[in-house]
Amino acid sequence: MSARFDWPALMRAGIGGLGLRPAEFWALTPMELRLMLGSGIAAAPLGRDRLAELSAAFPDFETCTEDEDGPRD
């Protein structure tokens, strides 16, 4: 059985609350509307410790010495 939607409430939230035009509202998928309304499962923001961990694992550049690869420009 398919999920039932409270279309009047969703239209009030999308058109009234978010200021969407009717065509914009009807072009959205239910998941897109949920995300815009902030009513979905969201990932926690990236913390400083996790950023440092990712930066160490995936550096923007590789370090090298002149002896290994010659001088850097």
Tens digit of each residue's pLDDT (9 = 90 or more) over 21-55: 999 999 999 889 988 988 766 677 889 999 999 99
Flag whether 14 is in a domain.
Answer: yes
- Give the domain range for residue 22: 7-37
Flag whether 51 is in a domain.
Answer: no
Which amino acid belongs to residue 15? I
Angstrom distance (rounded) from CA 62 to CA 13: 49
pLDDT of residue 1: 47
Q: Phi and psi of 45, rounded to 5°? A: -65, 155
Flag whether 26 is in a domain.
Answer: yes
How many domains are contained in the chain? 1
Encoding tokens for residue 40? Answer: 């979905």
Mean pLDDT of the residues in the chain: 83
Q: What percent of the chain has pLDDT over 90?
A: 47
pTM of the predicted protein model: 0.50
Angstrom distance (rounded) from CA 72 to CA 62: 12
